[in-house]
Structure 1
Amino acid sequence: MENSRNFVLVLTLSLAVLIGWQWAMDYFYPQPEEVPVTAEQVDTPAEQAAVAASGEIGGGAMPAVDLATSLGSAQRVPIDSPKIAGSINLQGAFLDDVVLKDYAATPDADSEPVRIFAPRGTAIQQYSQFGYLLNGQKISDDAVWQADGGTLSPGNPVTLTHDAGDGVTIELTYSIDENYMVSVEQAISNGSAAPVVAQPYGLVGRTSTTASDDFFIAHSGPIGSFGQSVDYDYDYDDVEESGKVSPAGAPDWIGFTDIYWLAALVPQQGAAPDATFRSLGADAYRADMIYDPVTVPAGRKYTATSRLFAGAKDSEILDSYQDAGIPQFGLAIDWGWFRWFEKPFLWLLKNIFEIVGNFGVAIIILTIIVRGLMFPIAQKQFGSMAAMKAIQPKMKALQDKHKDDKLKQQQEMQKLFKEEQVNPLAGCLPLILQIPIFFALYKVLYLAIEMRHQNFLWIEDLSAPDPATILNLFGLLPFTPPSFLAIGILAVLLGVTMWLTFKLNPSAMDPIQQQVFSIMPWVLMFIMAPFAAGLLLYWVTSNILTLAQQKYLYSKHPQLKAAAEREKAEKAAAAAEADGS
């Protein structure tokens, strides 16, 4: 009767976990909503400095902007490089139009490319701007700059020019490389009769409504390297709560990241500008990079060069920029503690993919390779467990003999281990060694942009949840069930293989533990179902390999299975006797 009550309790708690998980996901990771943005919310650091200097209150309502209308303006300089396309808005000199040629927005064959930059006021706004404060004053964002150079492309820079009055001219010369880096030479020429105090700046602004989830395994949100140490500590909520966050240390780069995309400002080498994250209200945020003011004498010219990365988080490309002198740029991908395992795994996964031509097959092969390499460790673990089981009667005898003298008992136990040449920790150490390796493999699959939009059998995108769920008859019915009930084929296979793994392992558990372990696979099936299909494919493959490995190792160590089965029977008999009494 007691066991029945405990079983009901376990089942109730399991259902509570399922319901609580969905509630937590909806609460902490709500779906994005389109929110109009006002001009006051998207002001520049220069505007804020000008307001502070003059004591005036600036800003006014800026209506929501239609994307197509804004991009259709004739006042734009086109961008065309091997990896990105877009344009620079001559009104205000905003770089606010960037699409990535190599990445489609959806898995459909006719999909548009991914858009990562869009003008201010649009629902998906993200943009950059470079300029100068002149004697503490901001050049109006309504000012129209003059362009010279045609289309911005590798080897063909474009210069934007603005006459600031009183003989002062500002030039922004944009150049772009073969990948995702834009360099901006900010020049100011003082043709007046008096010196000018100039302060270069750069910024990236964006909305958080289109941001990817900031998950424990991969950071999304404000990011930067300060004093050659990458800071993943701040999320959008932190910046909103504080209003302004200024990380300690000289900035190496600063910006915003999603799981696959990055927009980051890189200051001039050797400079130490003030770098801050700001909340602008209504889910709008900005990363600022403001240099120290300089005095430009009459008849002189001053130049500062900044850079902007706007593109995909391809590890090879990020590492190449780091090798070229941008500190810690490769860590814009949140590799975590185990990156020394993760990068080799990613290299191997990409090379397998190049050979087999299918990313799902590459995941399966990589999992087999890793499990194969770890097999000697698992074999050593089972051998140690078998040795411990073999001396179990002697250990029991010592425990009974010295039950009133714990010190003597420990001494005799150590003596027994030494005589039998058994290390009681040898069974745990192999398991501990496997944890970082398998976690690293899991994280590689979560972070790898190479998995995005890759297909496998019925799955169109391995980076998205399994589309074939039970409630829509595995894709036959034309609707998508809520995520709580979206149990796909891979999730079912995950639950089944995990249940078989527990059943095959003849551990001597009490009845309550057995009930918990019987329910756990099905609870995890619900919890893991919304995860990327590629991750579930890895888990299912790993579980199948675990089943085969356990079957083989138990056949090599029959005494281990027999001892566990004996203990299991003894505990079941003791439990039955307790219930009867």
Structure 2
Amino acid sequence: MDDKRNLIAAILLSVAILLGWNFVSEKFFPTPAKPDVTTTVAGTSGAETAANPALPGALPAPGTPGAPASQVIRPVEAVLAAGQRIAIETPKLEGSINLVGARVDDITLTKYRQTIKKDSPPVRLFSPAGTKGAYFATLGWSAQGFAVPDASTVWTATGTRLTPATPVTLSWANTTGQSFRIEYSIDKDYLITAKQTIANNGAAPVAVRSGTYIDRTGTPTDPHEQDSWTIHVGPTGYLDGKSNFTNYDELVEAPAKTMSYGAAGWLGFTDKYWLAAVVPAKGEKVSAAFNALPGDSYRAAFARDLAEVAPGKQLTTTSRIFAGAKEVSTLSMYQDDQGITRLSNAIDWGWFEFFAVPIFKLLDWLFKQLGNFGFAIMALTLVIRLLMFPIAQRQFRSMAQMRVVQPKMKLLQDRYKDDKPKMQQELMKLYKDEKINPLAGCLPIVIQIPIFYALYKVLMLTIEMRHQPFVGWIKDLSAQDPAMILNLFGLLPFTPPSLLSIGVMAVILGVTMYLQFRLNPAPTDPVQAQVFKIMPWIFMFVMAPFAAGLLLYWITNNILSIGQQQWMYRQFPALKAAATK
């Protein structure tokens, strides 16, 4: 077996996995069947229609999911200025709670900017109803026979600011003896805790259901923020004992536009870097659902079973709202300390999670030591090469042995060219006699496949890489190299089409790969020789649209491979002689 053929096969396999794994996994490893779908019939304005209390069909849904299609859309600033609000201030976010409807509908992430420009505004996660892309969380009740708070209810607040040190309580009472209270508290990161209390001061017992939900209008329009086979964007959660990733299109196409679940650890909507989710109390049993609603709106909600509150008694339930960035350490902290099961799965690590997470942790540690993610990627590449050095040494030894016995192999191929089984049998015997492992030559490349894919996921998914600069013109390692040939290396204000977006780093990648191949012994097969001549330039085009950090890894790997090959040539003169010849 020719080592060059193994190399070509391994490289093509890596590209196939990178570009086609999603198709293969869906075809041969299908996801479990979707949960049962039921019709959601939820009352508004405090009245709940009859429904089976055990089903998400009875979820509370006071008010509308957002701005109706016919409603005039106003700027966020105008809507915020016109409302009655309680300010939210923490080290990582700012915003407000609307006293009309008790909605958490104004959240900006002060730690993150929309672009790499210094004057770029902070990322806005939540926006109030009546604005473009309305996105908010609501706590509510549903009942029959008496009034409960709805979207138009004006609450009374104790306190003016919600901070980690100052909780806020909202209260409201109806005319039949029932009073309602929401106690909000927030930590220094992204978790809001809300205690919902109903006190029954009436003469008869009442049955009530509480719940929490997130409404979102529209879907991401940025091509880099949309759902793809490598990055999940849309409804997600830990439902019925497993992580769930649902597409917006699947939700719209579902019967009655509802996907229902019998249990929920958490659920909400994820973007590439951001997450909004509602979380019941630890160990609490709730029913949950995703809904597609009119006006291009979507809902993630959970509700508790109907509970009876006797006269003179009260009932308190606890809900949590996560609204923030998908920081690996923060999600893990909430998972471990708050008992939010598998919240870290909001980052869609994919099939190679077992490999991607250690790669991220090592890369993050190197960044903290070096202070630059680009240098951390280069150091990570060096660490990987050192760990693989013994395997690479066996690879080069095998290549040297293969070159030594090349004349014998050629003789056998000529002698048995009309008897393929016999030729394979004799070649296997030759490998055994010469103590050659023909697969050793491609083993390092096969091992590189999960490493490369894991690093790809890390660079594309983790917010820790977002807007991280390297040197010179590389201001964001998670984005494509902006210095492209067709836009005169960034001087012209446009981005060329993906196929033609050849940047400086892509050219360097092609050149280093070409030099690496030149150091290899020339293949005897003219077809293989032609493939090796054009492969570096094909990869230059293929890799150009990828994140600059990924190209930096590959370039560093090529340079280290060139240095390692030079060192190995000194160790195995037969291989060097074959290359020279």
TM-score, normalising length: structure 1? 0.81
Among 272, 275, 294, which residue is 1:259 paired with?
272
Deviations along 1:523-544, whole A, 9 cap, x unmatched?
4433433332222222222222
- Asked if the contact 1:398/1:413 (under 8 Å) is kept, the reply is yes
Among 169, 172, 180, which residue is 1:159 paired with?
169
Specify whether residues 258 and 292 from structure 1 end up closer, same or farther in structure 2 by C-alpha distance, changes over 3 A only: same
Among 401, 404, 428, which residue is 1:390 paired with?
404
Does residue 301 of structure 1 match 2:314?
Answer: yes
Does residue 363 of structure 1 match 2:372?
Answer: no
Report the counterpart of residue 63 of structure 1 in structure 2.
72
| Aligned pairs (5 A) from 1:249-288 | 250-288=263-301
Does residue 533 of structure 1 match 2:542?
Answer: no
| Aligned pairs (5 A) from 1:199-278 | 199-206=209-216, 207-210=218-221, 212-232=225-245, 234-242=246-254, 244-246=257-259, 250-278=263-291
- Asked if the contact 2:126/2:136 (under 8 Å) is kept, the reply is yes
Report the counterpart of residue 557 of structure 1 in structure 2.
572
Distance 1:127 1:282 in 2: 15
Deviations along 1:192-224, whole A, 9 cap, x unmatched?
222222111111122313571223233221111
Report the counterpart of residue 24 of structure 1 in structure 2.
none
Shift of 1:73: 2.9
- Asked if the contact 1:381/1:427 (under 8 Å) is kept, the reply is yes
Distance 2:93 2:393 in 1: 50
Distance 1:472 1:399 in 2: 52
Among 132, 148, 152, which residue is 1:142 paired with?
152
Gaps of 5+ in 2: 1-18, 20-39, 52-56, 58-62
Shift of 1:405: 7.7
Does residue 444 of structure 1 match 2:441?
Answer: no
- Asked if the contact 1:228/1:327 (under 8 Å) is kept, the reply is no
Shift of 1:177: 0.9
| Aligned pairs (5 A) from 1:173-572 | 173-206=183-216, 207-210=218-221, 212-232=225-245, 234-242=246-254, 244-246=257-259, 250-324=263-337, 325-395=339-409, 414-456=428-470, 457-506=472-521, 508=523, 510-560=525-575
Shift of 1:142: 1.4
Shift of 1:91: 0.9
Deviations along 1:320-360, whole A, 9 cap, x unmatched?
11112111112221222333333333233223323332222
Report the counterpart of residue 117 of structure 1 in structure 2.
126
Distance 1:349 1:364 in 2: 10
Distance 1:402 1:527 in 2: 40
Does residue 98 of structure 1 match 2:107?
Answer: yes
- Asked if the contact 1:279/1:285 (under 8 Å) is kept, the reply is yes
Among 72, 76, 79, which residue is 2:85 paired with?
76
Gaps of 5+ in 1: 1-20, 22-42, 567-581
Deviations along 1:477-517, whole A, 9 cap, x unmatched?
45544555433211222233233334443452754554454
- Asked if the contact 1:92/1:141 (under 8 Å) is kept, the reply is yes
- Asked if the contact 2:269/2:276 (under 8 Å) is kept, the reply is yes
Deviations along 1:124-146, whole A, 9 cap, x unmatched?
32211111112287643111111
- Asked if the contact 2:214/2:301 (under 8 Å) is kept, the reply is yes
Report the counterpart of residue 34 of structure 2 in structure 1.
none
Distance 1:546 1:392 in 2: 24
- Asked if the contact 1:160/1:173 (under 8 Å) is kept, the reply is yes
Q: What is the letter of the counterpart of residue 135 of structure 1? A: Q
Secondary structure of 1:72 counterpart: helix
Distance 1:52 1:66 in 2: 35
Q: What is the letter of the counterpart of residue 235 of structure 1? A: N
Specify whether residues 415 and 503 from structure 1 end up closer, same or farther in structure 2 by C-alpha distance, changes over 3 A only: closer
| Aligned pairs (5 A) from 1:42-61 | 47=44, 50=47, 52-53=49-50, 61=70
- Asked if the contact 1:176/1:183 (under 8 Å) is kept, the reply is yes
Specify whether residues 425 and 490 from structure 1 end up closer, same or farther in structure 2 by C-alpha distance, changes over 3 A only: closer
- Asked if the contact 2:46/2:149 (under 8 Å) is kept, the reply is no
Shift of 1:238: 1.5
502-511 or 137-146, larger mean C-alpha shift:
502-511
Specify whether residues 240 and 74 from structure 1 end up closer, same or farther in structure 2 by C-alpha distance, changes over 3 A only: closer
538-547 or 302-311, larger mean C-alpha shift:
538-547
Specify whether residues 435 and 478 from structure 1 end up closer, same or farther in structure 2 by C-alpha distance, changes over 3 A only: closer
Specify whether residues 196 and 507 from structure 1 end up closer, same or farther in structure 2 by C-alpha distance, changes over 3 A only: farther
- Asked if the contact 1:384/1:423 (under 8 Å) is kept, the reply is yes
Secondary structure of 1:337 counterpart: helix
Distance 1:534 1:563 in 2: 35
Secondary structure of 2:197 counterpart: strand
Distance 1:468 1:405 in 2: 55
Deviations along 1:274-322, whole A, 9 cap, x unmatched?
2222222454222111222212222221111111111111111111111
Distance 1:293 1:411 in 2: 74
Distance 2:524 2:95 in 1: 62
Distance 2:352 2:101 in 1: 44
Distance 1:248 1:390 in 2: 64
Deviations along 1:62-94, whole A, 9 cap, x unmatched?
321320111113400100112111100111111
| Aligned pairs (5 A) from 1:569-580 | none
Distance 2:491 2:341 in 1: 50
Distance 2:554 2:116 in 1: 24
- Asked if the contact 1:46/1:138 (under 8 Å) is kept, the reply is no
Distance 1:110 1:510 in 2: 58
Deviations along 1:410-454, whole A, 9 cap, x unmatched?
666555444433333333433323322232223222223122122
539-548 or 480-489, larger mean C-alpha shift:
480-489
Secondary structure of 1:353 counterpart: helix
Shift of 1:398: 5.7
- Asked if the contact 2:484/2:490 (under 8 Å) is kept, the reply is yes
- Asked if the contact 1:86/1:98 (under 8 Å) is kept, the reply is yes
Specify whether residues 351 and 407 from structure 1 end up closer, same or farther in structure 2 by C-alpha distance, changes over 3 A only: closer
Distance 1:267 1:308 in 2: 9
Shift of 1:180: 0.7
TM-score, normalising length: structure 2? 0.81
Specify whether residues 139 and 351 from structure 1 end up closer, same or farther in structure 2 by C-alpha distance, changes over 3 A only: same
Secondary structure of 1:287 counterpart: strand
RMSD: 3.1
Shift of 1:147: 1.1
